[in-house]
């Protein structure tokens, strides 16, 4: 529609953040979108983004009206595309796991390099990763505790219950030397998994296991339903550079099924088995 505008939000306008009410009734196209840029902490309770073609900033895409865009201009003190403020309102391409959107409005700061750079390019990570305790949603091999015991870290993972990630589906988009690894893609489906409470020590273990510093997986925060309650901004890990789905090695698929069996719903467990067979002709026994 001609009167609709796409906007990429990366800070206080994101879901559950302090100005998220401005997004009420706006159509969300993706909660796990990204664009090229670099993110900084302004020190005033909000991030600023600067242009950078070699780094990524994560956020959300919304479809909004021109009137709503004017509200955003007022929020950042911008009087238009050519106003003499600290912000520029530009358009650039924004990406999701499945597609890309061109000419999306993004607010960038003209001079931000004197501030602290935000690691992972994600404001939610900057806000929540330093907590003493976090809820962590495991949907792949970390549902199985065999490697926890082998690595002697089982005491770092306190099981809280079965969680459900709405609007996601399980896929094997991480290509390792011996096959695919699990990921979650935005969809109209549901992924079930285990919710653990972890400390910073457990987080550091997950960084090593998930290859975070090698830019394999990234920490992300999503909503999880558990025991009849919705928990906001629960930690999980998503593949950064997603490839076409590849069959996982048998030992990895077995870890997922072993960790899920008797814990996730029977319907979801059957779905895990069926998708392994339908996608890769893998008939697993555990």
φ and ψ at 184, to 5 degrees?
Answer: -120, 135
Domain end call among 123, 143, 173? 123
Residue 285 lies in a domain: no
Domain end call among 105, 123, 141? 123
Question: In the structure encoding, which two tokens stand for residue 26, read together?
Answer: 């706006």
Domain end call among 97, 123, 149? 123
Residue among 260, 264, 233 at smallest CA distance from 134: 233
Looking at the fold, whether 215 and 103 belong to one and the same domain comes out as no
Q: Whole-model pTM?
A: 0.94
Looking at the fold, whether 241 and 261 belong to one and the same domain comes out as yes
Q: Which residues contact 164 (CB under 8 A, 6 or more apart)?
A: 190, 191, 192, 224, 225, 226
Looking at the fold, whether 74 and 13 belong to one and the same domain comes out as yes
Look up 192 and say whether it is catalytic: no
pLDDT at position 76 is: 76
Looking at the fold, whether 95 and 135 belong to one and the same domain comes out as no
Looking at the fold, whether 66 and 144 belong to one and the same domain comes out as no
pLDDT at position 214 is: 97
Looking at the fold, whether 117 and 145 belong to one and the same domain comes out as no
Residue 116 lies in a domain: yes
pLDDT at position 113 is: 64
Which CATH number goes with the domain that contains 44? Answer: 3.10.490.10
Q: Is 199 exposed, middle or buried (0-12, 13-18, 19+ CB in 10 A)?
A: middle
List the catalytic residue out of 186, 210, 255, 273: 210
Looking at the fold, whether 134 and 251 belong to one and the same domain comes out as yes
Please provide the DSSP assignment of the chain as one string.
-TTEEEEEE-STTSTTSTTGGGGTTPEEEEEEEEEE-EEEE-SSSSEEEE--TTSEEEEEEEEEEHHHHHHHHHHHT--STT-SSSEEEEEEEEE-SS-EEEEEEEEEESS-TTSEEPGGG-HHHHHHTTSSEEEEEE-SGGGS-HHHHHTT-GGG-EEEEEEEEEEEEEEEEEEETTEEEEEEEEEEEEEEEEEEEEEHHHHHHHHHHHTGGGTSEEEEEEEEEETTEEEEEEEEEEESS--S--PPPHHHHHHHHHHHTTTS-HHHHHHHHHHHHHHH------
pLDDT at position 62 is: 97
Residue 242: give the domain boundaries.
Answer: 129-280
Residue 119 lies in a domain: yes
pLDDT string in tens for the chain (286-residue length): 457 899 999 999 999 999 999 999 899 999 999 999 999 999 889 999 999 999 999 999 999 998 889 888 887 765 544 445 678 899 999 999 999 999 999 999 876 667 889 999 999 999 999 999 999 999 999 999 999 999 999 999 999 999 999 999 999 999 999 999 999 999 999 999 999 999 999 999 999 999 999 999 999 999 999 999 999 999 999 999 999 999 999 999 999 999 999 999 999 999 999 999 999 999 988 8
pLDDT at position 1 is: 44
């Amino acid at each position: 529609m001609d009167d609709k505008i796409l906007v990429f939000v990366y800070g206080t306008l994101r879901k559950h953040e302090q100005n998220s009410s401005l997004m009420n009734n706006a159509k969300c196209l993706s909660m796990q979108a990204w664009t090229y840029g670099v993110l900084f902490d302004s020190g005033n309770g909000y991030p600023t983004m600067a242009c950078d073609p070699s780094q990524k900033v994560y956020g959300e895409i919304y479809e909004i009206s021109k009137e709503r865009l004017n509200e955003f201009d007022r929020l950042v003190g911008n009087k238009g595309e050519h106003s003499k403020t600290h912000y520029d309102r530009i358009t650039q391409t924004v990406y999701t796991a499945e597609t890309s959107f061109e000419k999306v409005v993004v607010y960038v700061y003209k001079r931000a390099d004197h501030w602290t750079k935000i690691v992972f390019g994600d404001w939610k990570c900057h806000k929540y990763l330093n907590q003493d305790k976090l809820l962590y949603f495991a949907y792949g091999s970390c549902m199985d505790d065999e490697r926890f015991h082998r690595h002697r870290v089982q005491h770092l993972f306190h099981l809280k219950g079965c969680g459900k990630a709405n609007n996601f589906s399980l896929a094997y988009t991480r290509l390792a030397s011996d096959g695919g690894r699990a990921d979650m893609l935005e969809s109209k489906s549901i992924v079930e998994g285990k919710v653990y409470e972890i400390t910073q020590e457990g987080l550091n273990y997950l960084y090593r296991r998930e290859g975070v510093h090698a830019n394999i997986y990234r920490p992300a925060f999503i909503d999880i339903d558990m025991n009849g309650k919705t928990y906001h901004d629960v930690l999980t890990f998503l593949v950064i550079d997603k490839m076409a789905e590849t069959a996982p090695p048998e030992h990895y698929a077995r870890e997922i099924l072993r960790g899920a069996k008797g814990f996730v719903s029977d319907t979801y467990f059957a779905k895990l088995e069926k998708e392994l067979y339908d996608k890769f002709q893998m008939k697993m026994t555990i």
